[in-house]
Structure 1
Amino acid sequence: MVGPIMDERSPHAGHTVDHSAMHDRRPEHDDAMPREHEHTAHSDHGDHSGHAAHGGHAGHGDHVGQFRRLFWIMLVLALPVVAFSPMFAMLIGYRIPDLLVLRAIPPVIGSVLYVWGGRPFLTGAVGELRGRRPGMMLLIALAITVAFVASWGATLGILDHELDFWWELALLIVIMLLGHWIEMRSLAQTTSALDSLAALLPDTAERVVGDDVEAVSPAELRVGDVVLIRPGGRVPADATVVQGSADIDESMITGESRAVARTVGDTIVAGTIATDSALRARVTAIGDDTALAGIGRLVADAQASSSHAQRLADRAAGWLFWFALSAGVVTAVAWTALGLPDAAVVRVITVLVIACPHALGLAIPLVVSIATERAARGGILVTDRMALERMRQVDAVLFDKTGTLTEGAPAVTGISTAAGFTEDDVLAAAAAAETDSEHPLAAAIRSAAESRGLAPADSSHFRSEPALGVRAVVAGRVVEVGGPALLERAGVAELAAAEDWRAEGAIILHVLIDGAVAGALRLADAIREESRTAVRALQQRGIDVVMITGDAETVAARVAADLGIPRYFAGVRPEDKSARVAELQSSGQVVAMVGDGVNDAPALAKADVGIAIGAGTDVAIGSAGVVLASSDPRSVVATIELSRAAYRKMRQNLWWAAGYNLLAVPLAAGVLAPIGFLLPMSVGAILMSASTVVVALNAQLLRRLDLRPESVNASRR
């Protein structure tokens, strides 16, 4: 078949069905802490720079090792400080020999602990003061500095001996270092998506030069180079297949576990794997221009962006600082007024330690970072954190039909037969006749035959006749495939099923064998099987599903009825799609628009959340807050599940972190002292670090969330 035949072969050539949309869809496209500790403030977590004492997000992996080494060194140094501390010995009930060398151990090694082990907190406090953004690091620095000064005062006899806090200072520093080490491990894990993306590229690529194949670094490849990808090898750059065919594992890019067949003319993406056969492909994009690099930028940008919940946590951390400072002042005044200045020092130190907003500062960024990392692994690329946060509130999803709910290409959706013929007879004959045709309808027929396991018979004398169809000799019989003009010329009537198919807006092709009608084929834009699951899953979660399309009413009605979508907009021009989004919003609904084409950009931008689906090899869609690397609409459900799960974790962490501090600070100040309960400073340090660990572990539970499209079902809520 040649290009013009499609319209002529369709019995509704003048119909307003947008079949061209099916064929012309274009997607939019050493132990010393680093000096950077001195320049950041812990209260700013929008881009993880809030972990000022950690040197920023980019260095998390390195700082894990630094904090691990520092923790173990300080733990070893802390043991003799605690063991030879008179206060600790008295508490435990043993006696330390009265030797100068033993008495000197706590202050000497304790000073080393303060200067060396406390440096991350002291430099972090300097950074917060310089940035005029007081926060957690300043509170820790105040606590260990007061303990250090008070301990030296007690050691030198200037202050009461009960203020000898060397052992508590040592434990405080060790415990805080442990908490930071655990935090760094958690934060470092959130960058694993980016690390994994970078690791997808092979170390070497095989470039074809004439008859030779040379091994080069992927960085040496240039656009236009031909590369050889062997079975099991990774694609070194975005390319177009020029020789061979293979099943490509694209799961690391799209999240889809099933390998996809790629052959000559098809695009393959850097980092994917040829599973079974060798390919030769011509490089079309390298370096920062590849889809892999684009995905990396999206993940990095999303992890660096701030959200409403994050800004709330930042403000809460700031409020908590002033709350802790005020509580410390009130505590000092109250205990001093009671004539217990030494107790005042102990209580103030405990308040300052236990009120550190460390867990609060970690509560949101860790959740969001893990969420975006998990999303990226599932083929969900969050370009705007606000979009991810907003998804949990969506109560209406507006799907573009063609290429989103449907395949965006014609497929055989029905077969009718004349007496004496079976469906397989008709389909096999048509596929054989269409063997040499490059028309999309011919490809659809051959694909349908292949899916049924029908091997096409040999054909000869192929001829494509404009306005009629195709003709070929198959097994000695003349087989013709075409539209109404073919029937008219042959003087035969169409099958009865054609009338109903025509009303549905389908393309109808009849198959003639030796001049007699053997059967008819119904071709239409095939509905994705995944769409049915996606629609049901959304509806069972209380979300309205609406469809929008430029196709005619009959086509839209058929697809909507098939999918169980009660409301749809048909015959909508591209420029009018955003108005339909506004219409839904005006009724009070929070709308997510799902589309795959350039024509959907205004609607994607207008929607509360824009979701670009099927972006595969093009992730530069500025109008969407969420980009789905695959074409599977079930990923929309997975995105909503992720948004809801992340919100639950944010809320749980905020309540735990803020609530814990609000309850613990009065205990640290000594409000229960009248009934004999005083919270020791060391216990305060342990509880503070424990709260951080709880928040970090709670956020890590998000890693259990399965975001693969195939994990979506219609019964989960």
Structure 2
Amino acid sequence: MIAPYRKHKDMDMNKMPEGMDHSKMHHGKDAHQGMSEHDHHAMMIADFKKRFYVVLALTIPIMLLSPMIQHFMGVNWAFAGSSYILFALSSVVFVYGGWPFLTGLVEEVKAKNPGMMFLIGFAITVAYSYSVAIVFGLQGMDFFWELATLILIMLLGHWIEMKSVMGASNELQLLVQFMPADAHMVMPDMVHDVKTDTLKENDIILVKPGEKVAADGFILEGESYLNESMLTGESKPVLKVKGDKVIAGSINGNGSFKVTVSHAAKDSYLSQVVKLVDDAQKSKSQTQLLANTAAKWLTVIALVTGIGTFLYWYLTGQTLAFAMERMVTVIVICCPHALGLAVPLVVAKSTALSAKHGLLIKNRTAFENARKITTIVFDKTGTLTVGKFEVTKVVSLNKTIDENELIRLASALEQKSEHPIATGILQKVKDLKLAIPATENFKAITGKGVEATVEGKKLLVVSPGYLTENKLTLPDGFTANDTETVVFVLIDQKLAGYIALSDEIRAESAEAIETLKQENIKSILLTGDNKKVAASVSKTLGMDSFFAEVLPHQKLEKVKELQAKGEFVAMTGDGVNDAPALAQADIGIAVGSGSDIAAETAGIVLVNSNPKDIVSLILFGKATYRKMIQNIIWATGYNVFALPLAAGVLFNQGIVLSPAAGAVLMTVSTVVVAINASLLKVRG
């Protein structure tokens, strides 16, 4: 259930801003149990719409029977008992139209947290009570028509605003809907349709042309192009072949294929994204806390100013009706509704939009702090480069072993590794149709390579750094061009040869670095690769500097060095071996994590490894923060202008605001905030 009339600090799918839960109006506490939040919210909008039209129909006769309106029009339609009919119609408007606000007032008093609903409920109760007293004998002029128009405008404002909030919520709803309800499960004798949520690990499902993939998994048989744009932001369809990972919710092209399910629906990538978005929308940032504090102060100011205004006018000789009217207008103008929505609406929009573009926000503060970044440290492999190493040459230094034998032995050690270099070597062996031998006593040498026993020989595949450390000399005539990465093969502690691989620079990298320059953000390359490769990549892309031959545990130190110079550092890495550096950085961005979105140390996860996504993230973070500040300024600024007018400071010049005009101003400010939030976009 949606929490009733909660102060709207949390704008998410489970809690609407205060004044937005009307489930208790006349349905009972658990009337909507089992209904989706989305349907519940739609019912609330329909309820407000109905109340608005009923009050609109009653407001017309109320205005026609009102002595003040008749006086304006120069007519006298008063008849015996007309004041009692006016009282009866206004009572219906007060109780039926004002019910959401009155129950809200009670809830806020119970929670000892007066806010929006308390102020509106208080204002309409004062206006109604005073007008009733006039009907039953108190001298003065009632303001039933002001009461009716005030409630009418408040209902309209809430109705429009809830539709805006629902628009922001819909972004997340769209993600949820991307999961198909049914799947074709492959049984030994037939294909059987089952509910997606019943699938479990190792089940096999069939995906037909044009269908959505029902579960995360790996292609067992067949191939096809998949459209993953709604999940990862990658606009082009991606070719998936046997062994490739597929994400639930992606749309299949013309081929059909079978998938081995890797986990149940509740653990799928899409489910994790929805949970992540939901958590991000609940989490607070400094900007949200600022808005909440301002809203609390505005509530206090409204009550103090309202009562002060009433006492001032009444004690300086004005009528009780005039003093009451000023108080009601001040309290309505001061309602902190726009302020309460200023940040939550932007949060709802930005987190859901981000998820659709493959930018997953885990920490709101990290996302909003993107505007402060002065330096970005890029992990080279797979971010600035494609991350697919291809073998460019194999050189044997041992006359008894040819090139094919050298790479065959090396591949034995690499089959246990997921490093891109290992993938490159294994791909070459596969292309040469060589059989990969078995290994014994396998051991990784952190940051330097791997070692194992293969066919009775002690084999090492290591980086140049290992040779230097162990005082082994590089072979005569050894050359590697600036873009090649080289690994050396040692057999029984003797240098047997080397394998050179190269990794292509991504087409988007140069453009991303150029955009960062325009934003005055320095880009630094961080790699375990040799200085020649690092210098070449850094120069080609126009980066500010580079750190080469850096071991995983040294990455943290490099980030600290930059911070010591006063830089606000964002670090990009794969979230596994870069975890300490990601945690140390002011903003940790885990990239290329695909369905492993639980990169714990990173505040932000990018589904694709595209460097343009990192730039998009920073620009979007800045845009989001700007929207929040614009909304906060607007939501508080209009009070600075309207509050003195409501209190009557220009009364002697003939300028005063009626309660209805105050309600219009408050509604307009709320709608402006909602529209401004909805204009937020991710720049590609």
Task: State the TM-score, normalizing by the size of structure 2.
Answer: 0.82
Q: Residue 568 of structure 1 corresponds to which residue in structure 2?
A: 546
Larger deviation, residues 291-300 vs 113-122 = 113-122
SS in 2 for 1:52: coil
- Residue 563 of structure 2 is aligned to residue 585 of structure 1: yes
Question: Among residues 396, 399, 407, which one is paired with 2:378 in the alignment?
Answer: 399
Shift of 1:554: 2.1
Q: 2:330 aligns with which of 326, 331, 351?
A: 351
CA–CA distance in 2 between the matches of 1:583 and 1:543? 17
Separation in 2, partners of 1:346, 1:43:
31
Residue of structure 1 equivalent to 2:49: 68
Residue 587 of structure 1 and its aligned partner are, at CA, apart by 1.1
Q: Equivalents in 1 of 2:10, 2:481: separation in Å?
A: 62
Partner of 1:598: 576
Structure 2 residue matching 1:344: 3-state secondary structure? helix
- Structure 1 partner of 2:674: 696
Aligned to 1:486: none
Q: Could you report, residue by residue, the CA deviation over 1:525-569 in whole angstroms, capped at 9, with x for unpaired residues? A: 222222222111111211000111122222222221222223111
Query: Does 1:322 find its partner at 2:303?
Result: no
Partner residue in 2 for 1:246:
224
Cα distance in 1 for partners of 2:321, 2:550 equals 78
CA contact (8 A) 1:42 1:137 kept: no
The answer (yes or no) to whether the contact 1:202–1:218 under 8 Å persists in 2 is yes
Aligned with residue 362 of structure 1, among 331, 336, 341: 341
- Preserved CA contact (<8 Å) 1:409 1:526: yes
Return 5+ residue gaps in structure 2 as ranges.
23-36, 395-414, 416-421, 438-476, 489-498
Give the 3 Å change call, closer, same or farther, for CA 597–648 of structure 1 in structure 2: closer
Tell me whether 1:41 sits opposite 2:20 in the alignment: no
Q: Distance in 1 between matches of 2:219 and 2:74?
A: 78
Q: Is the 8 A contact 1:48 1:304 kept in 2?
A: no
Distance change (3 Å), C-alpha of 1:308 and 1:465: closer
Compared CA separation, residues 547 and 152, structure 1 to 2 (3 A) = same
Structure 2 SS opposite 1:529: coil
Q: Any stretches of 5+ residues in structure 1 without a counterpart? A: 1-33, 416-437, 448-455, 467-497, 510-520, 712-717
Q: Does 1:218 align with 2:196?
A: yes
Aligned with 1:190: secondary structure?
helix
Q: Residue 65 of structure 2 aligns with which residue?
A: 84
Q: Quick one: distance in 1 between partners of 2:230 and 2:2? A: 36
- The alignment partner of 2:605 has SS state of strand
Deviation at 1:465, TM superposition (A): 10
Distance 1:573-1:505 versus aligned 2 partners, 3 A rule: same
Residues 93 and 611 from structure 1, CA distance in 2 versus in 1: closer, same or farther, beyond 3 angstroms? Answer: farther
User: Could you give the per-residue CA deviations for residues 446-490 of structure 1, whole angstroms, max 9, x where no partner exists?
Assistant: 99xxxxxxxx9xx9xx66799xxxxxxxxxxxxxxxxxxxxxxxx
The two structures, once aligned, show a CA RMSD in angstroms of 2.9
Q: What residue in structure 2 maps to residue 659 of structure 1?
A: 637
The residue number in structure 2 matching 1:53 is 19
Whichever residue aligns with residue 346 of structure 2, its letter is V
Alignment of 1:198-347 (within 5 A): 198-340=176-318, 341-347=320-326
Instruction: Answer yes or no: is the 8 Å Cα contact 1:610–1:624 preserved in 2.
Output: yes
Query: What residue identity is the alignment partner of 1:212?
Result: M
Does residue 133 (structure 1) correspond to residue 113 (structure 2)? The answer is yes
AA matched with 1:87:
M
Equivalents in 2 of 1:35, 1:88: separation in Å?
A: 41
1:178-205 deviations in Å (ceiling 9; x for gaps): 1111111111122223211221111211
Deviations 1:3-58 (A, max 9, x none): xxxxxxxxxxxxxxxxxxxxxxxxxxxxxxx99535x2346769985723213987
Instruction: Report if aligned partners of 2:168, 2:345 keep a CA contact under 8 Å in 1.
Output: yes
In 2, the alpha carbon distance for the partners of 1:62 and 1:392 equals: 39
- Contact between 1:251 and 1:258, CA under 8 Å: does it hold in 2? yes
Give the letter aligned to residue 568 of structure 1.
Answer: F
Over 3 Å counting, the alpha-carbon distance change for 1:92 and 1:694 in structure 2 is farther
Residue number in structure 1 paired with 2:534: 556
> Is the CA contact 1:410–1:444 (under 8 Å) kept in the aligned structure 2?
no
Contact persistence 1:228–1:281 (CA under 8 A): yes
Deviations 1:62-101 (A, max 9, x none): 422222222222222322222322222222344325143x
CA contact (8 A) 1:45 1:310 kept: no
Distance 2:544 2:201 in 1: 48
Deviation at 1:522, TM superposition (A): 7.1
Question: Aligned with 2:571: secondary structure?
Answer: strand
Between the aligned partners of 2:169 and 2:573, the Cα distance in structure 1 is: 29
How far off its partner does 1:320 sit?
Answer: 1.0
Which whole-Å CA distance do the structure 2 matches of 1:547 and 1:503 have between them? 15
2:604 aligned residue: 626
The 8 Å contact of residues 11 and 282 in structure 2, kept in 1 or not, is answered as no
Structure 1 residue 180 and structure 2 residue 158: aligned?
yes
Q: Give the aligned residue type for 1:69.
A: K
CA distance 1:36–1:244, change in 2 (3 Å)? closer
8 Å CA contact 2:485–2:530 kept in 1: the answer is no
CA distance in 2, matches of 1:79, 1:445: 83
* 1:96 counterpart letter in structure 2: W
What amino acid does structure 2 have at the position aligned with 1:207?
A: M
Q: Secondary structure at the match of 2:352?
A: helix
For the 8 Å contact 1:294–1:619, the answer to whether it is kept is yes
Larger deviation, residues 250-259 vs 522-531: 522-531
Find the aligned partners of 1:180 and 1:465 in 2 and give their Cα distance.
Answer: 68
Give the Cα separation in 1 of the matches to 2:541 and 2:564.
25
**TM-superposed deviation, 1:262:** 0.8
Residue type of the partner of 2:197?
A: A
Q: CA deviation at 1:222?
A: 2.0
Task: Tell me, yes or no, if structure 1 residue 194 matches structure 2 residue 143.
Answer: no
Are 1:363 and 1:653, in contact at CA under 8 Å, matched by a contact in 2? yes
TM superposition shift of 1:595: 0.8
Bigger mean CA deviation after superposition, 63-72 or 331-340: 63-72
Matched, 1:378 2:344: no
Contact (CA 8 Å) 1:48, 1:365: kept in 2 or not?
Answer: no
How does 1:605-644 map onto structure 2 within 5 Å?
605-644=583-622
What does 1:419-568 correspond to in 2, within 5 Å? 440-441=423-424, 501-502=480-481, 504-506=483-485, 523-568=501-546
Contact 1:172 1:685 in 2 (8 A): yes
Compared with structure 1, are the counterparts of its residues 199 and 577 closer, same or farther at alpha carbon in structure 2 (3 Å cutoff)? Answer: same
Q: Distance in 2 between matches of 1:503 and 1:48?
A: 54
Q: 2:650 aligns with which of 672, 675, 688?
A: 672
Q: 1:591 & 1:86 partners in 2: Cα distance? A: 68
Return the alpha-carbon distance in structure 1 between the equivalents of residues 527 and 372 of structure 2. 25
Aligned mate of 1:157, from 137, 147, 172: 137
Greater shift after overlay, 300-309 or 530-539? Answer: 530-539
Q: 2 CA distance for matches of 1:441 and 1:48?
A: 47
Which deviates more, 567-576 or 89-98? 89-98
Give the Cα separation in 1 of the matches to 2:16 and 2:187: 51
Pick closer, same or farther for the CA change 1:68–1:446 going to 2, 3 Å. Answer: farther
In the alignment, is the contact (CA less than 8 A) between 2:483 and 2:533 conserved in 1?
Answer: yes
Shift of 1:369: 1.4
Asked whether the 8 Å contact 1:546–1:567 carries over to 2, the reply is yes
Q: 1:145 aligns with which of 106, 125, 142?
A: 125
Change in CA separation of 1:37 and 1:94 when aligned onto 2, cut-off 3 Å: farther
3-state SS in 1 of match to 2:104: helix
Between the two proteins, the alignment pairs up a number of residues equal to 597
Instruction: For residues 257-312 of structure 1, give each alpha carbon's deviation from its aligned partner in whole angstroms, at most 9, with x where no partner exists.
Output: 11111111111111111112000111111122111111111100001111111111
| Cα 1:96–1:175 shift into 2, 3 Å | same
Cα 1:121/1:502, change in 2 over 3 Å: same
Q: Is the 8 A contact 1:245 1:263 kept in 2?
A: yes
